[in-house]
Amino acid sequence: MARIIQGMSFAQIPVSDGGVLIVGGGLVGASLAIALDAAGIDAILVEAAAPRVDTLPSHDERNLALARATVNGLTRLGVWAHARDAAAPIRRIHVSRAGEFGAARLDAREEGVDALGWTLPARALGAALLRRLDACTRLRRLAPARLIGIEPRADGWQARIDIGAGELRVDTPLLVGADGTDSQVRGWLGIEADVHDYRQSLIVATVASERPIEDRAFERFDDGGPVALLPLAQGRCGLVLSVPADEAAAVAALDDAAFAALAQRRFGWRLGRLSRPGRRHVYPIRRVVARRLTAPYAALVGNAAQTIHPIGAQGFNLGLRDALTLAELIAASAATGDAVRLHDYAARRAPDREGTLAMSHGLIRLACLAQPALAPLRSLALLAWDRLPPLRHALARRGMGFRGRPPRAVLEDWT
């Protein structure tokens, strides 16, 4: 069983040396810790919040669209067995733009799979990860704890960690920043990041639809940004509505009838009338991209490496592939923080990372620009996607998470 160390004095905890130190116990950091434990590698996970679903900030109200590759990886980690009952399959995807002709469709049957992905509430995934963490045998968890400094060593780093009752010093051959968009680790390593503020916020809620959404996911664009409806296990729809940042608070505060009417105008009538919206939650949208994934004896994963626009729902999917690739390379090396392995990590992640970043940023700029001259080109692009099977299959493969050289844990026989 993984040991959770909290409320102990410094004298009670021995200084650790030789284990991978993961800073950040969110969805990606926890996944990396589990992958290392499964590979028989010692690790320490530093979690800022107590390890409970109701306290961890990444276990929030979002509904995650998990790519097929992601579910493959979670299955191999032993996590999916704890989450699948709360998940809804996505077998068909429909993409369109308001006021323009043409639509793009993907169908799992055409790709020879049972589902393109699954929708899962972030809280359900968080709970599944916590259950799997409890079964780890090579992992120590410091929670709640906070990294307060790092110092270079000849063969790694020494980290200073505030555990509440005192300060713990940990020597590690590999420091991993999994501490989110505003990563403290990234800053201390001297890795700069490029930041773009979309001046938009996401409003996340659930709604009921007059016609059942079944196993379909919808993404619709207009001049205000993307709107998505995702299938949920209980038959409701997960709504993701982008609005200008300066309007987000007012939109979230609308009464149910007014909010449902706004969602209806933005999404349209493909599922009939939308009604009975649930609680609304607001998330600002920024793009924060680290200029490097590695530093000496250190690596970044997940949102610490790149936080992208949620269009296409690629954020956690991309981050999990970071974690599984890094774990795979660590497991293959006798020297955990070896510079060659870290170079391999950056090189392995480059095609997937750069392709996903380009898709995310380019699509939001192209699909949501209010320029009439672009309308015919956008419509033709959607028609080409829909009518050209080789293009459709290539896009489906990438959307399912099989881009570049994926980690082995996400692969299946047909890839």
Q: What tokens does 1 get?
A: 């069983």
pTM higher than 0.75, yes or no? yes
Give Cβ neighbours of residue 334 (< 8 Å, ≥ 6 apart): none
The span from the CA of 409 to the CA of 324, in Å, is: 7
The span from the CA of 218 to the CA of 94, in Å, is: 5
Whether the ω angle into residue 173 lies within 30 degrees of 0, i.e. cis, is no
Q: What is the pLDDT along the chain (415 residues), one digit of tens a residue?
A: 555 554 443 333 444 455 999 999 999 999 999 999 999 999 999 998 877 655 555 555 789 999 999 999 999 999 999 999 999 999 999 988 776 666 788 899 999 999 999 999 999 999 999 999 999 999 999 999 999 999 999 999 999 999 988 899 999 999 999 999 999 999 999 999 999 988 889 999 999 999 999 999 998 888 778 899 999 988 899 999 999 999 999 999 999 999 999 999 999 999 999 999 999 999 998 999 999 999 999 999 999 999 988 766 678 999 999 999 999 999 987 667 788 899 999 999 999 999 888 877 666 665 555 555 555 555 556 666 666 677 778 878 888 889 888 999 999 864 4
Q: Note whether 152 and 133 are within 8 A (CB).
A: no
Is 96 exposed, middle or buried (CB count within 10 Å of its CB: 0-12, 13-18, 19+)? Answer: buried
Q: Which domains does the chain have, with CATH numbers?
A: 3-88+117-194+286-370 (3.50.50.60)
Give Cβ neighbours of residue 305 (< 8 Å, ≥ 6 apart): 177, 290, 293, 319, 322, 353
- Specify which residues 121 forms β-bridges with: 63
